[in-house]
Amino acid sequence: MKSAIKAALIVAAAIVTTSASMPFAQAQSGGAAPTDPQIVGIVLAANQIDINYGKLALSKSNDKDVRGFAQQMITDHASLQKAVRDLGAKLKVTPADSDTSTSLNKQAKETTAKLKKLNGQAFDKAYVENEIAFHKAVINANDNVLIPSAKNSELKSALEGARPLFQGHLEHVEHIQSALQ
């Protein structure tokens, strides 16, 4: 039993380590800042990733707080998805793939595979740690790459307006982490 817990914690640590180094802030090919269409693509990818993590948590966790947070992630990020799609349509900005969005999706696939192997408290701990790393990376990328790179003022304003939501998610999941320990 102890070796199973130890193995689960090693997997959890690997998830957190890889998630914390997520490629949100990667420069595009040639070191260029992302374009507005690429920014929209990155935001849509990041939201979908967290929706998928939330759905996985709802299917695997029995912890009331973890499940509540997962449902909040699904609801909030689905709402953000709609707002970003609506803004993109209004501005006639078609989401574009980028090295960053491609890398995000690849990393999310790997993280999801690792999370799927965990159960019970090991899953809850790994999911929560992943969400902390994910939201820290989102906030960092939003502040240091996406907002400064956005050319359209409405897009830039929307990114700035989303920051308090991301910060609230981070604080919420950090509180859950404290309760799990």
Residue 23 lies in a domain: no
Euclidean distance between CA atoms 179 and 181, whole angstroms: 6
Residue 86 lies in a domain: yes
Residue 105 lies in a domain: yes
Q: What is the pLDDT of residue 25?
A: 47
CATH number of the domain bearing residue 170: 1.20.1260.10
Q: What is the pLDDT of residue 13?
A: 39
Residue 126 lies in a domain: yes
- Work out how many domains the chain is built from and give that number: 1
Q: What is the pLDDT of residue 170?
A: 96
Euclidean distance between CA atoms 33 and 61, whole angstroms: 39
Contact residues for 13 (Cβ-Cβ < 8 A; gap 6+): none
Residue 149 lies in a domain: yes
Q: What is the pLDDT of residue 159?
A: 93
Listed as ranges, residues in the chain with pLDDT below 70 are 1-31
Q: What is the pLDDT of residue 24?
A: 53
Q: What is the pLDDT of residue 23?
A: 54
Residue 26 lies in a domain: no
pTM: 0.84
Euclidean distance between CA atoms 33 and 122, whole angstroms: 38
Residue 21 lies in a domain: no
Residue 27 lies in a domain: no
Q: What is the pLDDT of residue 125?
A: 96
Find the domain containing 42 and state its range: 2-16+35-180
